[in-house]
Amino acid sequence: MSEQVFIFDTTLRDGEQSPGNTMNTQEKLRVARQLELLGVDIIEAGFPIASEGDFDAVKQIAKLVKNCQIAGLARANDEDIDRAWKAIKVAAHPRIHTFISTSDIHLKHQFRKTRDEVLEIAVAAVKRAKRYTDNVEFSAMDATRSDWDYLCKVVAEVIDAGATTVNIPDTVGYAVPHEFGELIAYIRKNVPNIDKAVISVHCHNDLGLATANSIAAIHNGARQVECTINGIGERAGNASLEEIAMTLRTRKTSFTADTRIVSEKIYPTSRLITSITGVPVQPNKAIVGANAFAHESGIHQDGLLKAKLTYEIMTPESVGISKSSLILGKHSGRHAFRDRIENLGYILDDKELNLAFKRFKALSDMKKNVYDEDIEMIIMDEIYKTAERAKLVYLNVSCGNTTIPTATVKMEIDGNIFQDVGTGDGPVHAAFKVIKRLLKTTSKLEKFSVNSITQDMDAQGEVFVKLSEKGLKAIGKGADTDIIVASAKAYINALNRLEYMKTKKS
């Protein structure tokens, strides 16, 4: 029987705080629900002291999610800890996660405190958290650049104060696997009360070693890993959940430990994060990248046709990527549609299913073959969309090589209908100019990209738009068989997100 490695997902905290990955409360709830289905043990829902919005989101997640522990982050001071508790106390299994740095670099240049002072603060913080709950995690920030003996002393004292999880973060992604493994072994050997707490690790990816370091730590006795979906996070990101979970699963015989992750939910969860943040996953990303299971070389294809085992160490199905390409069409009914959605790993309520089914019917009237990717796009576009201030009601463009591109746009803005017409250098330009005028926005278009979701001539187009305004940046996404409509949807989606960020900032 293998031991359990606890998965502490920090997509909604370390992931969300990184550039371009901001989510609103509605989106965070959607992610939390998906993480619960994925089998995550602990969800770090946010940093409640950071803002009213963060506090509210953590509280709502704490209320909603029943099968995971919900952690709230707090610096090592009374105010942060009290606030974190206020946000998470409604949870079925709340956890306070408090932290302070232990490296001399941080102590000298950032905190301007001595080692003894920091030790005292750490112990006091754990004791404060302990007044509220037995489930207290302490993180020694910048642990990998700390003096090992001082780190052991802090770890021992916070455990004495009541910490039940001690986290060893590689905050700046400085560690290398053999050395990080040795550090975990050193802590196990030199902290006398270490058996009273779970050792956790939290690795950043500055040298591309976050997963390797986490695995080295597990090999040396760590039993909690902190990670994010798609590896999103501060700077180069955090250790990626899918890589850690699939390493332990695929190389079972090399480890005495495994996670509770439902691997078939990995890909839908990855897609959900991409669709919410608009930050695409690099094609060659392990496990969830578009090319992760694509075999191009003739020799590999030949081997695969003879036996999958030759070049495939895990199946796409095992991570939730369906290979049954051609699936539904205009004659498919609601039952088949629901079935397909559930097989893809999404759970929709009846109202959401009806909405998605209506859109599927409309799409299958325009498109002969509806692929899994098309269905996913419907879910992302129709169900997982952000709260909208503005919606596209109608778009008509005339263009060609003998006419001036002209767009007529009808929109619903704050519940009222507006319409305008304008020209541009091309149909997308004309539509964007009209939308810009209707929404009176001064934002700047920074990026515009179009991808085809599937390979056919009648494929849906997926458009990403990036906007900036007064230091804020927002990404929007839209999909449609008509590329101009997809572009308009993506532009409006980005404007809605920008609007949301402006209110959050103010």
Q: Which residues bind ligand KIV (CB under 6 A)?
A: 14, 99, 139, 141, 167, 169, 171, 202, 204
Residue 146 near which of ligand KIV, Zn ion, none (CB within 5-8 Å, type-dependent):
none
Backbone torsions φ then ψ of 397, nearest 5 degrees: -125, 145
From the list 9-17, 85-93, 105-113, 209-217, the region that binds Zn ion by CB under 5 A is: 9-17
Residue 240 near which of ligand KIV, Zn ion, none (CB within 5-8 Å, type-dependent):
none
- Per-residue interface string for the shown chain with Zn ion, residues 13-52, x marking contact by CB under 5 A: -x--------------------------------------
Least distance CB 300 / ligand KIV (angstroms): 38
Binding residues among 328-357 for Zn ion as defined by CB under 5 A: none
Q: Would you state the torsion angle of the CA atoms of residues 338, 343, 344, 350, taken in this order, to the nearest 10 degrees?
A: 30
b/e per residue, 294-328, with b = 16+ CB within 10 A?
Answer: ebeeeeeeebeeeeeeeeeebeeeebbbbeeeebb
Supply 348's token pair: 């929709």
Using only C-alpha atoms, what is the Rg of the chain?
Answer: 25
Nearer to ligand KIV, 173 or 424 (CB): 173
Nearer to ligand KIV, 60 or 171 (CB): 171
Cβ–Cβ < 8 Å for 226, 202: yes
From the list 7-15, 64-72, 129-137, 179-187, the region that binds Zn ion by CB under 5 A is: 7-15
Q: Roughly how many angstroms between the first and final C-alpha of the chain, as a whole number?
A: 53
Residue 119 near which of Zn ion, ligand KIV, none (CB within 5-8 Å, type-dependent):
none
Least distance CB 10 / ligand KIV (angstroms): 7
Least distance CB 31 / ligand KIV (angstroms): 18
Number of residues this chain uses to bind Zn ion (CB under 5 A): 1
Residue 211: strand, helix, or coil: helix
Residue 141 near which of Zn ion, ligand KIV, none (CB within 5-8 Å, type-dependent):
ligand KIV
Nearer to ligand KIV, 211 or 364 (CB): 211
- DSSP string computed for 132-162: H-S-EEEEEETGGGS-HHHHHHHHHHHHHHT
Residue 295: strand, helix, or coil: coil
Residues 6+ apart with CB under 8 A from 104: 115, 146, 147
Cβ–Cβ < 8 Å for 175, 143: no
Residue 139 near which of ligand KIV, Zn ion, none (CB within 5-8 Å, type-dependent):
ligand KIV
Site residues (vs Zn ion, CB under 5 A): 14
